[in-house]
């Protein structure tokens, strides 16, 4: 854990041997990633330098720990995890040393000491079906979230489960899972969606909070626009192949080897808003599409229910062959009746035929 | 349905299932309604066969006769431009082919997107010209009723929304694609109960015409 | 006592809707191209003459009685019903301004056979009492007297005597066991008796065994024109009875358009059984005789001639090549009209129109199209093969003050015939 004597982020960075130049470079990159004007870089640097350690309470509900893995497994030492390290992570199931009553006491202590100023980070969805589906120290997830969020400055929902309900909420949603935003309505909530989300997006949000004391501009899903403003498709390096109509048909055909578009293999890039195509993963090493697999659309709400991962986006969610065959069978049945009625009408008309003779050509007047 | 992803999932899910089911059921009903009325028997000694002239007429009516073209070039050209544009867009855009492949179990090669894009523009232009023609040509104006304008709208919307979605001119994209799907679902639902049915029944009509003429020794 | 009522008419419409009609109405997208094929529209510019529009009453019955949506609309009171007023208004469209020439059926991009439907729609018009009075009169004369023009056998008999006396030819009458039984149209008996003489001349040269039938000589069928199968059946039955009584092998349809339709195509269906004899058009027979060398012509005319295809014979009857080959037999200067064969333009008087007094002004107006087609050829003689077309064209040319002799093709062949005797 961080040395208690270090008061500001600047101190921490200098202690860890980060040069002024490296720090400014980070600030510039962060500013550009968050679409801040270049004039803001010195202000950002100054603010970050003086930023005090905020208390962060990390709540894990119905989740897989993938989000934490994503954040902690980034290669050290990076500025991202230094910022991450800088925060006073007062409660985190996976990372904290304390357990049992001591752990819960740490959370309560942090809440009391930083009333109105601490940040709450949530990963995982909250089950409403039955409080017993997920409990911590005898309290339901809902109780813990409501209680912890009450005194928070803001809540950051990390990962698609916390942001949108994610996998737990996937049809048929057996636990009645909901997102953080469904519960916390009176505090600012930032959704950092993704399964898992990109680490730099979290540090970016933290940097913004540390710098300005506010949260960044959000899109219709409460996601920072700076990172979720454009779609994967629009930034994809394989886009020219889509435009030319060059597609991989299987994962091992010539198209796949030549790096053609993965649309036919189910890439959900066109509907997905995230920064993967520009920020990439593992320190800019690669990202799903670059590694040869289509985007799953994991940063979009309900992506688990958006049809087969390997079905093209244009293919409807349901079993279309089945629907058409059932409809055809039903159609044949109804049509037979309709045809029968038509036939009957015509036969009846024929029966009622009254022979026309020359004596009844004129109209009755 | 309070956001674009919900809307997209609904249009890709329930709405599509409902629309395609109504489309297929309606289509079969309409075809049965027609065929069930039967054809009167013909006892006169035929001069020619029915089958080949029938098939031939199915094909030849795709081309206009010279006289009609000379008298109504706009009707013919607008009709062609719009139909060709629409059919290329519908049948040769790769995302569409993927949908057909999923439905029928087989697909076919598509065209590069810029060509389909141009075809969609042609389709839109052709439809606009056709509408203008319908509103100004005295014959079409007299013949046309609400249904004619309804089917125009039903045909126009998928092209328009598809174009806007492809060019990502509506944001966010899930909303754009959802609107495109919704317009197609409207089209599918109303298709069997409007004159959009001509898409299928024209083959019957042409065949009957060709066969009845063929019997009399005339190629119609 | 007349029984013509709206209900009877509606029932007739219902009877007439069949799969082709349903397919046609389902396919129409109101593109209006049929108007461009119809001389009643092209010559007047009035959109109400658009062919498919003429079928509105039949279309409504189809929609309201034979489609799910139509039935629903009817149930909800949203459907526009077929009323007496509607049918009265449509009489002009289904009779005065439609010769059932079938040109529209040829251009429809979705393949609708519109004239087929007009024929059917007229059944409902007749049953509801909305056929034109003039055609009603013709039908009454056809059934009671035996000919729409009121021609009795007596008149034919005196023409026969006259021809036999003048030409020395023998006109066989009621000869049982003859091969061919020609039919005539009243117009030929009254206006163009040369036709009968020409037949006698050609048949003598070709050595054909033939006979006229005293109680089955009238080929015209007003039942077809007015659009009543019941009346048409009665008239066709007379011919069948006559032909069966004389046990002929062939019945020859004369130079008359709708007669060919009625006896060749509709006849067997009307009486409900195939004929025990074959029906052949006179031009087809002449062409056969030409091909087999049984008739020859000489002294070909160098006069520029053109041929008017009667719609019922050419476009609707498939007799297109025969008249061309026969024209080559009589003229060394035969020119086609710009639109000919199956694409010909109607004279404007077929389908009963020439019998409707009220339609005369309209008929003259639309004749302009044919007049132009004829004039474009620069021909100094017009040949045709339908007595009705011939009369209508003669009247039309007179109306426009055009001097141009007309002749029937059979007469022309007889005129150039090489005779052994």
* pLDDT tens track for B122-167: 999 999 999 999 999 999 999 999 999 999 999 999 999 999 999 9
Q: Is it the case that residue A83 has pLDDT exceeding 70?
A: no
* Least confident window among A89-103, C91-105, C338-352: A89-103
Same domain as A129, residue A94:
yes
Largest pairwise CA distance in chain A: 120
Same domain as A238, residue A171:
no
Same domain as C279, residue C159:
yes
* In a domain? residue C107: yes
pLDDT of residue A7: 65
Q: Is the dihedral of CA C227, C228, C231, C236 positive or negative?
A: positive
Rg of chain C, C-alpha, whole Å: 22
Same domain as A189, residue A72:
yes
Same domain as A260, residue A169:
no
For residue A87, give the CATH number of its domain: 3.40.50.700
Same domain as C122, residue C243:
no
Q: Is it the case that residue C401 has pLDDT exceeding 90?
A: yes
How many distinct structural domains can be found in chain B? 1
Same domain as A196, residue A75:
yes
pLDDT of residue A2: 41
Q: Is it the case that residue B220 has pLDDT exceeding 60?
A: yes
pLDDT of residue C1: 55
Interface contact C140-A352, CB threshold 8 A? no
Interface contact B43-C37, CB threshold 8 A? no
* In a domain? residue A155: yes
Same domain as A196, residue A59:
yes
* pLDDT tens track for A182-240: 999 999 999 999 999 988 888 788 778 877 778 889 998 999 998 999 999 999 999 99
For range C34-61, the mean pLDDT: 97
* In a domain? residue C420: no
In angstroms, the CA C45 to CA C39 distance is 9
Answer whether A306's CB lies under 8 Å from A300's CB.
Answer: yes
Residue A331: domain span? 323-347
Same domain as A93, residue A194:
yes
Same domain as C56, residue C113:
yes
Residue A105 has a CB neighbour count (10 Å cut-off) of 12
* In a domain? residue B118: yes
Interface contact A361-C136, CB threshold 8 A? yes
Q: Is it the case that residue A148 has pLDDT exceeding 70?
A: yes
Interface contact B28-A332, CB threshold 8 A? yes
Same domain as A275, residue A184:
no
- Average pLDDT, whole number, for chain B? 94
**C215, C369, C383: which is closest to C286 by C-alpha?**
C383
Same domain as A125, residue A245:
no
For range B95-109, the mean pLDDT: 93
Q: CB distance from A345 to chain B under 8 Å?
A: no
Give the best residue of B2, B23, B25 to mutate against chain A (max A CB count within 10 A). B25
- Which secondary-structure segment (H or E) carries C315? none
Same domain as C356, residue C320:
yes
Same domain as A79, residue A115:
yes
Note which residues in 140-199 of chain A have CB less than 8 A from chain B.
Answer: none
Interface contact A334-B25, CB threshold 8 A? yes
Pick the residue from chain C with its C-alpha nearest to B68: C36
Same domain as A294, residue A249:
yes
Same domain as C182, residue C99:
no
Same domain as C149, residue C218:
yes
* pLDDT tens track for B49-85: 999 999 999 999 999 888 888 889 999 999 999 999 9
* In a domain? residue A363: no
- Residues of chain B contacting residue C112, judged by C-beta atoms under 8 Å apart: 205, 209
* In a domain? residue A16: no
Secondary structure in 3-state letters for B135-196: HHCHHHHHHCCHHHHHHHHHHHHHHHHHHHHHCCCCCCHHHHHHHHHHHHHHHHHHHHHCHH
For residue A242, give the CATH number of its domain: 4.10.480.10
Check residues A203 and B38 and name the one with the higher pLDDT: B38
Q: Is the dihedral of CA A150, A155, A161, A163 positive or negative?
A: positive
Give the best residue of A337, A345, A361 to mutate against chain C (max C CB count within 10 A). A361
* pLDDT tens track for C14-38: 999 999 999 999 999 999 999 999 9
Residue C305: domain span? 296-415
Q: CB distance from B2 to chain A under 8 Å?
A: no
- Could you give the 3-state DSSP secondary structure of residue A240? helix
Q: How far is B66 from chain C (nearest CA, A)?
A: 10
Q: Is it the case that residue C293 has pLDDT exceeding 70?
A: yes
Q: Of B32, B96, B112, which is closest to A335 when you measure between CB atoms?
A: B32
Q: How far is A248 from chain B (nearest CA, A)?
A: 12
Of the candidates A166, A195, A226, which is a domain's last residue?
Answer: A226
* In a domain? residue C1: no
Same domain as A131, residue A251:
no
* pLDDT tens track for C353-382: 999 999 999 999 999 999 999 999 999 999
pLDDT of residue B174: 94
| DSSP E strand stretches across A82-125 | 88-91, 119-123
* pLDDT tens track for C151-188: 889 999 999 999 999 999 999 999 999 999 999 998 88
Of the candidates C104, C131, C158, which is a domain's last residue?
Answer: C131
Q: Is it the case that residue A263 has pLDDT exceeding 80?
A: yes
- Residues of chain B contacting residue A334, judged by C-beta atoms under 8 Å apart: 25, 28-29
Q: Is it the case that residue A32 has pLDDT exceeding 80?
A: no
pLDDT of residue C407: 93
Q: Is it the case that residue A79 has pLDDT exceeding 70?
A: no
How many distinct structural domains can be found in chain A? 3
Interface contact B44-C264, CB threshold 8 A? yes
Helices B73-92, B113-136: inter-axial angle, 10-degree rounding? 150
Same domain as C190, residue C285:
yes
Same domain as C384, residue C253:
no
Q: How big is the A-C interface in CB pairs under 8 Å?
A: 67
Q: Is it the case that residue A130 has pLDDT exceeding 70?
A: yes
Q: CB distance from B67 to chain A under 8 Å?
A: no
* In a domain? residue C19: yes
Percent of chain C at pLDDT above 70?
99
Give the best residue of C31, C35, C67, C78 to mutate against chain B (max B CB count within 10 A). C31
Of the candidates A168, A196, A226, which is a domain's last residue?
Answer: A226
Of the candidates C98, C113, C131, which is a domain's last residue?
Answer: C131
Q: Is it the case that residue A142 has pLDDT exceeding 50?
A: yes
Q: ipTM of the predicted structure?
A: 0.96
Same domain as C305, residue C286:
no
With cut-offs at 50, 70 and 90, classify the pLDDT of residue A3: very low
β-bridge partners, C173: C212
Q: Of C32, C269, C316, which is closest to B44 when you measure between CB atoms?
A: C269
Answer whether B119's CB lies under 8 Å from B113's CB.
Answer: no
Residue C166 has a CB neighbour count (10 Å cut-off) of 10
Residue B86: domain span? 65-215
């Amino acid at each position: 854990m961080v040395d208690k004597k270090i008061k500001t982020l600047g101190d921490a960075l200098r202690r860890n041997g980060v040069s002024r130049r490296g720090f400014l470079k980070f600030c510039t990159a962060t500013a550009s990633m968050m679409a801040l004007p270049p004039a803001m870089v010195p202000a950002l640097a100054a603010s970050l330098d003086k930023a005090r350690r905020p208390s962060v309470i990390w709540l894990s509900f119905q989740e897989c720990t993938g989000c934490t893995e994503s954040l902690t497994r980034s290669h050290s030492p990076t500025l991202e995890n230094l910022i991450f390290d800088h925060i006073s992570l007062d409660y985190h199931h996976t990372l904290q040393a304390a357990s049992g009553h001591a752990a819960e006491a740490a959370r309560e202590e942090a809440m009391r000491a930083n009333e109105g100023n601490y940040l709450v980070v949530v990963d995982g969805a909250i089950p409403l079906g039955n409080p017993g589906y997920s409990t911590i120290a005898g309290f339901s997830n809902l109780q813990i979230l409501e209680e912890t969020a009450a005194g928070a400055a803001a809540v950051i929902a990390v990962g698609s489960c916390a942001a949108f309900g994610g996998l737990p909420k996937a049809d048929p949603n057996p636990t009645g899972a909901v997102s953080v935003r469904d519960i916390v309505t009176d505090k600012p909530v930032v959704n950092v969606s993704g399964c898992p989300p990109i680490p730099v997006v979290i540090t970016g949000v933290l940097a913004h909070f540390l710098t300005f004391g506010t949260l960044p501009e959000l899109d219709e899903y409460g996601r920072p626009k700076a990172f979720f403003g454009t779609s994967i498709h629009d930034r994809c390096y394989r886009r020219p192949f889509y435009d030319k109509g060059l597609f991989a048909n299987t994962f091992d055909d010539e198209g796949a080897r030549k790096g053609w578009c993965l649309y036919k293999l189910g890439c959900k890039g066109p509907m997905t808003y995230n920064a993967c195509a520009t920020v990439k993963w593992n320190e800019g090493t690669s990202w799903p599409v670059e590694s040869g697999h289509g985007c799953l659309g994991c940063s979009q709400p309900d992506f688990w229910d958006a049809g087969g991962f390997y079905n093209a986006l244009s293919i409807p969610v349901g079993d279309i062959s089945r629907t058409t065959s059932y409809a055809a069978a039903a159609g044949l049945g109804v049509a037979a009746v309709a045809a029968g009625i038509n036939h009957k009408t015509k036969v009846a008309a024929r029966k009622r035929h009254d022979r026309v003779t020359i004596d009844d050509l004129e109209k009755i007047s | 349905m309070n956001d674009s992803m919900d809307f997209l999932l609904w249009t890709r899910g329930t709405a599509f299932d409902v629309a395609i089911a109504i489309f297929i059921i309606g289509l079969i009903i309409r075809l049965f309604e027609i065929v069930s009325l039967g054809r009167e028997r013909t006892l006169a000694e035929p001069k020619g066969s029915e089958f080949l002239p029938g098939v031939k007429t199915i094909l030849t009516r795709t081309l206009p006769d010279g006289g009609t073209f000379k008298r109504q070039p706009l009707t013919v050209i607008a009709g062609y431009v719009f139909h060709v544009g629409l059919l290329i867009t519908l049948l040769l855009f790769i995302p569409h082919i993927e949908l057909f492949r999923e439905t029928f179990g087989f697909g076919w090669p598509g065209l590069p997107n810029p060509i389909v894009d141009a075809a969609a523009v042609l389709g839109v232009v052709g439809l606009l010209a056709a509408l203008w023609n319908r509103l100004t040509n005295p014959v079409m104006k007299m013949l046309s009723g609400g249904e004619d304008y309804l089917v125009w709208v039903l045909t126009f919307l998928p092209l328009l929304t598809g174009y806007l979605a492809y060019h990502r001119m509506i944001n966010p994209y899930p909303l754009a694609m959802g609107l495109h799907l919704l317009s197609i679902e409207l089209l599918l639902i109303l298709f069997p109960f409007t004159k959009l049915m001509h898409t299928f029944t024209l083959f019957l009509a042409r065949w009957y015409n060709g066969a009845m003429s063929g019997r009399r020794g005339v190629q119609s | 006592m007349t029984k013509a009522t709206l209900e009877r008419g509606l029932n007739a419409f219902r009877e007439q809707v069949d799969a082709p009609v349903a397919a046609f109405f389902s396919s129409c997208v109101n593109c209006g191209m049929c108007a461009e094929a119809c001389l009643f529209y092209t010559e007047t510019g009035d959109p109400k003459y658009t062919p498919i529009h003429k079928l509105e009453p039949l279309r409504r019955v189809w929609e309201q009685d034979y489609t799910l949506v139509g039935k629903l609309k009817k149930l909800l009171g949203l459907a526009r019903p077929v009323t007496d007023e509607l049918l009265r208004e449509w009489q002009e469209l289904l009779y005065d301004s439609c010769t059932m020439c079938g040109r529209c059926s040829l251009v429809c991009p979705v393949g609708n056979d519109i004239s087929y439907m007009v024929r059917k729609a007229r059944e409902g018009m007749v049953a509801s009492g909305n056929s034109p009075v003039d055609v009603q009169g013709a039908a009454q004369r056809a059934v009671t007297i035996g000919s729409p023009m009121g021609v009795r056998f007596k008149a034919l008999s005196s023409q026969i005597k006259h021809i036999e006396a003048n030409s020395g030819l023998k006109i066989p009458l009621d000869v049982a066991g003859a091969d061919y039984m020609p039919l005539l149209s009243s117009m030929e008996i009254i206006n163009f008796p040369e036709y009968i003489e020409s037949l006698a001349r050609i048949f003598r040269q070709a050595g054909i065994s033939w006979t006229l039938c005293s109680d089955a000589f009238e080929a015209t069928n007003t039942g077809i024109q007015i659009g009543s199968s019941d009346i048409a059946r009665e008239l066709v039955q007379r011919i069948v009875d006559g032909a069966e009584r004389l046990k002929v092998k062939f019945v020859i349809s004369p130079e008359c358009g709708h007669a060919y339709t009625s006896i060749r195509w509709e006849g067997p269906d009307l009486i409900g059984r195939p004929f025990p004899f074959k029906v052949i058009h006179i031009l087809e027979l002449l062409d056969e005789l030409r091909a087999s060398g049984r008739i020859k012509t000489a002294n070909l005319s160098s006069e520029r001639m053109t041929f008017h295809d009667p719609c019922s014979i050419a476009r609707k009857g498939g007799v297109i090549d025969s008249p061309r080959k026969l024209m080559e037999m009589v003229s060394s200067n035969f020119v086609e009209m710009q639109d000919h064969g199956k694409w010909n333009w109607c004279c404007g008087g077929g389908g009963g129109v020439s019998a409707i007094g009220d339609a005369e002004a309209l008929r003259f107006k639309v004749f302009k199209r044919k007049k132009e087609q004829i004039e474009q050829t620069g021909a100094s003689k017009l040949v045709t093969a339908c007595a009705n077309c011939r009369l209508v064209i003669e009247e039309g040319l007179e109306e426009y003050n055009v001097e141009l002799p007309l002749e029937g093709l059979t007469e022309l062949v007889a005129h150039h015939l090489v005779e052994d005797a």
